Amino acid sequence: MIVCNHCGAINSNSRVTCIRCKQTLSESISGDPEVVQTPLRVIGESRPDLPVNPAVRQQPPETISPRQSSPLSSRPQQTADRRPNTARPAAPEAYGASTIPTVTKEKRRFVLLVALVTTALLVSGVWYMIDWFEFQESKSLFSKGEMLYQQGKYSDAKQVYQDYLRQYPEGDFASLSLLRTAEIQDSLLAVEARHLMLQKRLPELVDKAIQAFQGGNYLTPEDNNALMYIEEILAIDPENNYILKMKQKIIKFYMEQGDQAVARQSRNTAIRYYETVLRIEPLYMPAIDKLSELKSR
């Protein structure tokens, strides 16, 4: 018989675990519970070092059949009958190294590094495309302003440059847009100042035009004739009806002079008068037609 070191229960020689506390039946003089009894010790043998718990009720010995005389042969069957199957799955090493693949720290780090690099490349590619499209749009807007600037449409060009600076304050053409805006502003101020000055001179110019016209100085002298004053006045006030009528009277005068020369059969004189009319009004069709007729003869 075997006495359990933990609870004092009496077990048969073939028992591996205690029938009461289910602890492994072991022999340990030093108190180490991991040492298994070899050989199994029966209760009748003297063990002065092993205390027996008197409070534990002594159980009668179990009848041992001849087939159970060998503890080693009956141990698997007794364990299977009296204890539930608590077998753990075999360790991965039991299946072989090639059956269950293992992931090392180096592999995990490598996969993480590849994922980070791929994400960084994707993000940088997206930002590059955004910057490229933004550059193309800003370039198109600036080119529109340059075209208007070259055409002399300064007010429209200034508006486009200001739109560019508002949308792309740090764009590639921001500094040049600022320069163009300043130049246009200066030009517009100069034009406006000149216009105001001419507005003040307008009454004086009208008086001089009337005096030259009444004196018959339509085209001469070169620095004091009616046509010179008429052009200055129309540059300030293109819709001045009085000055426009004065210009038509001068054209009518030279047309009549050309018709009289044709009637006198003075071809060269007539051509000279008609050319004078075209100098005053380059697209005056009656003069163009008569001049063409004379030159075709």
End-to-end CA distance of the chain: 157
Domain chopping of the chain, boundaries: 1-89, 108-191, 201-295
Beta carbons of 225 and 217 less than 8 angstroms apart? yes
Per-residue model confidence as pLDDT tens digits over 191-240: 788 778 777 888 899 999 999 999 999 998 988 999 999 998 998 888 89
CATH domain 201-295 topology: 1.25.40
Question: Average pLDDT over the chain, rounded to whole?
Answer: 77
Q: How far apart are CA 280 and CA 219, in angstroms?
A: 9
pLDDT band at 17 (very low <50, low <70, confident <90, very high): confident
d(CA 243, CA 30): 135
Q: What is the pTM of this model?
A: 0.41
Residue 2 pairs in a beta bridge with 11
Reported as a single tens digit per residue, the pLDDT across 114-148 is 888 888 877 777 766 777 777 888 888 889 999 99
Task: List the beta strands (DSSP E) in the chain.
Answer: 2-3, 10-11
Q: For residue 102, name the pLDDT band (cuts at 50, 70, 90).
A: low
Residue with tokens 């009956």: 74
